[in-house]
Amino acid sequence: MYDERCIFCRIIKGEIPSVKVYEDDEMCVFKDVEPKAAVHLLAVPKTHFKLLEEAGESGAEIIARMLKKIPIIAAGNGCKNGYRLVINQGDDAGQTVFHLHIHILGGEKLSDF
Ligand code: AMP
């Protein structure tokens, strides 16, 4: 599903520029515009859903396949020595874009959290 009000849907469609490092039929990975680490990528399902609880069975399967691909994508983009995955969920977590996405952070020794 495409939501024209969603910035990530528009990035996926190519309506808003981004630096894409990986794309297939169900996911897109691009560089975060305000990186919080030496490597900061966003892995985004092409199907629009805001939160994990909205993913449903098919969304959960997409996320599982994304998680399977992420190690290769991370390693190929500068995360040779580990990386951190973050999924912000809702306001308390500071989620700002309500299209589910997985932050991939690495390329340096990350601080504890
Ligand atoms: P979150 O706060 O978890 O919702 O993460 C949203 C992320 O999207 C933030 O890290 C932003 O820097 C990033 N972001 C927002 N707009 C863009 C954009 N046009 N291109 C790439 N990353 C973006």
Q: What is the pLDDT of residues 6-49, one digit of tens each?
A: 999 999 999 999 999 999 999 999 999 999 999 999 999 999 99
Please report the atom of ligand 1 found closest to the CA of residue 88: 3
**Residue ranges of domains in the chain, CATH in brackets:** 7-95 (3.30.428.10)
CA distance readout (Å), 25 to 13, 34, 45? 12, 26, 9
Rounded to whole angstroms, how far apart are CA atoms 6 and 99? 7
Residue 113 is predicted with a pLDDT of 81
CB-ligand 1 contact for 6 (6 Å cutoff): no
Question: Beta-carbon neighbour count of residue 15 at 10 Å?
Answer: 10
Quote the ligand 1 centre to 73 CA distance (angstroms): 19
Instruction: Calculate the CA dihedral of residues 73, 41, 51, 59 and round it to 10 degrees.
Output: -20
Instruction: Decide if pLDDT at 57 tops 90.
Output: yes
For residue 110, is pLDDT > 90? yes
What is the pLDDT averaged over residues 90-101?
98
Torsion region of 3: left, alpha or beta (phi above 0 gives left; psi -120 to 50 gives alpha): beta
Rounded to two decimals, the pTM is: 0.97
Among 9, 32, 36, residue to substitute to test ligand 1 (most atoms within 8 Å of Cβ):
32
